[in-house]
Structure 1
Amino acid sequence: MQGEMKPEWPKNAYAAQAIVARTFTLELLSRGGTRDLHGADICDNHVHAQAYNPDNITQTIKDAVRMTRGEVMIYRNRYVKGWFSASCGGRTTNAKTGLAYKGEEPAYIKSVSCKESRITPPEVKKWSADIDSETVLQALKKLGKPLPNLSGAQIAKRVDNRAAVLRLSGGGKKVEIDGADFRVAVGPEKMRSIWLTQFEVKDGRLITSGTGFGHGVGLCQWGANELARENSSPEEIVKHYFPKVTIKRLWR
């Protein structure tokens, strides 16, 4: 939690995150964890598992973990995929759109409205990026959709305000790619989300801007912050973002 959220947030926001992160970890472990990648059950790489920053651990965070000890999300007697991101932009999305998830869309993942915009700071809420054509072309090559050069870019399909499918062109060719896959390939710190408000090529460079930070699937951390400030319980916060799950305490 201390690697994923701000240290001054209310306890119930941390507690909700604890339930989701605990479930994320157990579900990942049930599939072998990160042993094949790192030789360990779990790692602190946010791409493969979850970030971890022990320097940010506070007493409030410790209390939040204790108060939800053993609590996990269950759907049909299985751990769910406890996805979360920093800022959903005001509405979450499904896994196939936000993550380009290749499996069957989980029944417990739903697009829900979010109050995060009430408190999310402008530097988190809005972003823009100017990306050189070589970075874009290398990303497309990595994804198996190469172009000889870059001359055009547009949004081919939107889902939940997100650019679910992107169309890029160059050298007389056009390719279409899942927005979430392209975001990761080009750099998720550059292209912070696929809730895009601008996506075009100017002077050989990709100019893009958008709303939110992260994939927007599951729990929104800034939204959890706002719900906690409204005195929602950790379980109520979790159920807002995962309305179909059951929260069970498996140990004390």
Structure 2
Amino acid sequence: MKRLFVFLVLVILIVGILNSDYIYANSMENSFIAIRLTSPIKSNSYVNLYGEEGFLIYNKGDLIGYLDYFEGENVRVAVLEKDIIGIFDMEGNLLFSYNQEEELILTSGKSNERKVRVEDNFYRDFIQFKIIDGNLIVINYIDLENYLYGVVPREMPASFEMEALKAQAIASRTYALKNRSKHIAHGYDLCDNTHCQVYGGMDGEQENTNRAVDMTRGMIITYAGNIIDALYHSNSGGITEASSEAWGYNHPYLTSVDDKYSIDAPNGTWSYKMTTDEINSKLKDYGINVGNILDIKITETSSSGRVTKLKIVGTSGERTLSKGEIREVLGLNEIKSNLFTIKKGSYEEVNSNVYAIDSKSSTPQLVDLNNVKVIDSSFERRSSRGITSRFINRDGIVGNDSSVSQQVNSFIIEGKGYGHGVGMSQWGAKKMAELGYSYEDILKHYYSGIDITINNR
């Protein structure tokens, strides 16, 4: 009986250990996120890796036991065939090959010290590879908290006050979890640029931002129990934009709020002068041709004052840019936000001399439109001076709007803020932290009706 009891205890302990490994492995997998790397990549067909302790290959679904090990510090990973990935030493010898459907990942080092250099940049945890349309895609399969080490200093200067950095860490963690399937159709979760969040791996990590991540570990922003889309931007210019007016979808936590904390910060106000030739060139690059630019008019704004429709009038027609097109067409760096006004800049003299043929002669004669009389639709003689002139051709009386004396050749765009204006203003967060507000105060100012909780997902 005693032996049976001991046997049962041993069985329970063994099963418990096995189950704990399974649970641990799966909990690890659930905490990982797949980030496509673009900044260090130099080729679409291969990538060079460096590992100080050789390379270990794991199955993505089992992060406990590795499948293979290579001693060399440098390897090259390349596309072999349609779905086949090869790992070579630097002499070109094939070390290992596999089908991408096997979901294998590679690392160097053990436990918390895992890191791999991809071309010139170091990344924590694991590197995964995909082949998409014949191109080799490099993915950093990384623990969420380790990922944030490489995000926060790229999204907010590490010199900012700690409470602002903590607010950024929580917002970035929340954004990552909310959007972790943004690129799932391509085989990864998020990318490493501004389309998602800027991520620089280990090379960009800073002590202060790492501390901010550690001090807020697991904290996320929720609304009515659900993870929010924690959008943020550089500077609101004094008032944030509601998501409903920016993109048409209504999130009750992304409303427009007054933001005095952003007013005196960098890009709180800005001005940019654009010549008509520059505007014309930008339009043509976007496939828009309205001829020579005559005028630019704001025709619609949101409740926060941001421009939602901008009409551009030219000699060959006109085009109204929507709120999403304005900065994309005219320049994201030049037009820092949609919170702007426009005034006309300098003018240039326009040659008003033209050649005309009257009814008594077939010989063209030089005339000055500023000094001739024209007949309008009521057949009354009047001076042609001014912006609008009328003339007669063989088909009858025709109206034509054109400047015959002066024409604007530049526009001055005076704006406030930098970015889309939705959610948290990063410079506003800095100012609030300087004034003694906590990360919770900051987040609850910019995100309406939210709670800060610990992620248990």
TM superposition score category, shorter chain reference: 0.7 to 0.9
1:104-119 mapped onto 2 (5 Å cutoff): 104-117=249-262, 119=264
In 2, the alpha carbon distance for the partners of 1:197 and 1:216 equals 16
In the alignment, is residue 10 of structure 1 matched against residue 161 of structure 2?
Answer: yes
Q: Which residue of 2 aligns with 1:222?
A: 427
In the alignment, is residue 23 of structure 1 matched against residue 185 of structure 2?
Answer: no
Could you tell me which amino acid in structure 2 is paired with residue 115 of structure 1?
K
In 2, the alpha carbon distance for the partners of 1:173 and 1:146 equals 8
| Percent identity of equivalent pairs | 29
Q: Which residue of 2 aligns with 1:136?
A: 282
1:148-175 deviation digits (Å, cap 9, x = unpaired): 4432111112221211221221235333
In the alignment, is residue 51 of structure 1 matched against residue 179 of structure 2?
Answer: no
In 2, the alpha carbon distance for the partners of 1:94 and 1:63 equals 32
Q: Which residue of 2 aligns with 1:209?
A: 414
Contact conserved, 1:119 with 1:226, CA < 8 A, in 2?
no
In the alignment, is residue 249 of structure 1 matched against residue 249 of structure 2?
Answer: no
- How big is the alpha-carbon RMSD for the aligned residues of Structure 1 and Structure 2? 2.5
Relative to structure 1, the CA distance from residue 55 to residue 90 in structure 2 (aligned partners, 3 Å threshold; closer, same or farther) is farther
Contact conserved, 2:338 with 2:415, CA < 8 A, in 1?
yes
Q: Which residue of 2 aligns with 1:157?
A: 300
Larger proportion of strand: 2
Contact conserved, 1:133 with 1:206, CA < 8 A, in 2?
no
Instruction: Report the secondary structure of 1:188's partner residue.
Output: coil
Could you tell me which amino acid in structure 2 is paired with residue 52 of structure 1?
Y
Relative to structure 1, the CA distance from residue 213 to residue 251 in structure 2 (aligned partners, 3 Å threshold; closer, same or farther) is same
In 2, the alpha carbon distance for the partners of 1:166 and 1:86 equals 23
In 2, the alpha carbon distance for the partners of 1:120 and 1:168 equals 31
In 1, the alpha carbon distance for the partners of 2:301 and 2:160 equals 33
Q: Which residue of 1 aligns with 2:334?
A: 190
Contact conserved, 1:154 with 1:199, CA < 8 A, in 2?
no
Residue in structure 2 matching 1:173, options 310, 317, 321: 317
1:44-69 deviation digits (Å, cap 9, x = unpaired): 110x1011245443222111111211
Q: Which residue of 1 aligns with 2:18?
A: none
Instruction: Report the secondary structure of 1:168's partner residue.
Output: strand
Shift of 1:199: 5.2
Relative to structure 1, the CA distance from residue 133 to residue 242 in structure 2 (aligned partners, 3 Å threshold; closer, same or farther) is same
Relative to structure 1, the CA distance from residue 43 to residue 26 in structure 2 (aligned partners, 3 Å threshold; closer, same or farther) is same
In 2, the alpha carbon distance for the partners of 1:200 and 1:65 equals 47
* Structure 2 unaligned regions, length at least 5: 1-151, 347-407
Contact conserved, 2:311 with 2:321, CA < 8 A, in 1?
yes
Larger proportion of helix: 1
Contact conserved, 2:273 with 2:410, CA < 8 A, in 1?
yes
TM-score, normalised to structure 1's length? 0.83
Larger C-alpha radius of gyration, 1 or 2? 2
Contact conserved, 1:135 with 1:186, CA < 8 A, in 2?
no
In 2, the alpha carbon distance for the partners of 1:77 and 1:51 equals 27
In 2, the alpha carbon distance for the partners of 1:110 and 1:116 equals 17
Instruction: Report the secondary structure of 1:63's partner residue.
Output: helix
Instruction: Report the secondary structure of 1:125's partner residue.
Output: coil
In the alignment, is residue 74 of structure 1 matched against residue 233 of structure 2?
Answer: no
Structure scoring higher RCO (CA < 8 A, sep ≥ 6) equals 1
Could you tell me which amino acid in structure 2 is paired with residue 72 of structure 1?
I
Q: Which residue of 2 aligns with 1:240?
A: 445
Shift of 1:186: 2.7
In 2, the alpha carbon distance for the partners of 1:213 and 1:139 equals 23
In 1, the alpha carbon distance for the partners of 2:223 and 2:289 equals 40
Q: Which residue of 2 aligns with 1:93?
A: 241
In 1, the alpha carbon distance for the partners of 2:285 and 2:444 equals 36
Relative to structure 1, the CA distance from residue 171 to residue 35 in structure 2 (aligned partners, 3 Å threshold; closer, same or farther) is farther
In 2, the alpha carbon distance for the partners of 1:56 and 1:115 equals 31
* Structure 1 unaligned regions, length at least 5: none
Instruction: Report the secondary structure of 1:23's partner residue.
Output: helix
1:115-163 deviation digits (Å, cap 9, x = unpaired): 3346513xx223233441234313663xxx7634432111112221211
Shift of 1:245: 2.0
In 2, the alpha carbon distance for the partners of 1:117 and 1:83 equals 16
TM-score, normalised to structure 2's length? 0.48
Shift of 1:194: 1.1
Q: Which residue of 1 aligns with 2:182?
A: 33
Matched length: 240
Relative to structure 1, the CA distance from residue 139 to residue 201 in structure 2 (aligned partners, 3 Å threshold; closer, same or farther) is farther
